[in-house]
Amino acid sequence: MPWYDIVWTDEIEEYIGQHGLELDDVRHVLENFDREDVSRSSGRPIRFGDIPDGREIAVVFEWIDDVTLCPITAYEV
């Protein structure tokens, strides 16, 4: 499992909560994703994976540097 430094903003924390997700859910998928693609709407990287409760979520993010990610949005798929 890779390790990443994740930059959390107040906006993303609030947005993730509005989608019924926790920060740990987003971190889990960023570090344990099933597949990675490019978001059709934003062109940013997107990772898909299952969270511990069995739901599949998508996490759109930006690379800050080689080990630092900044989530943009996350939602159930």
Q: How confident is the model at residue 63 (pLDDT cuts 50, 70, 90)?
A: very high
Structure-block tokens of residue 2: 């890779």
For the whole model, what pTM was predicted?
0.91
Q: Contact, 77 vs 56, CB < 8 A?
A: yes
How many residues are recorded in the chain?
77
Summarised one tens digit per residue, pLDDT across range 1-35 is 577 899 999 999 998 999 999 999 999 999 999 99
Q: From 55, 77, 65, 62, select the one nearest 30 (Cα to Cα).
A: 62
Summarised one tens digit per residue, pLDDT across range 49-59 is 999 999 999 99
Say what the pLDDT of residue 6 is.
94
**Residue 14 to residue 43: CA distance in whole angstroms:** 23
List all residues 6 or more positions away from 74 whose beta carbon is below 8 Å from its beta carbon: 12, 15, 16, 19, 21, 25, 26, 29, 57, 58, 59, 60
Instruction: Judge whether residue 66 has pLDDT over 80.
Output: yes
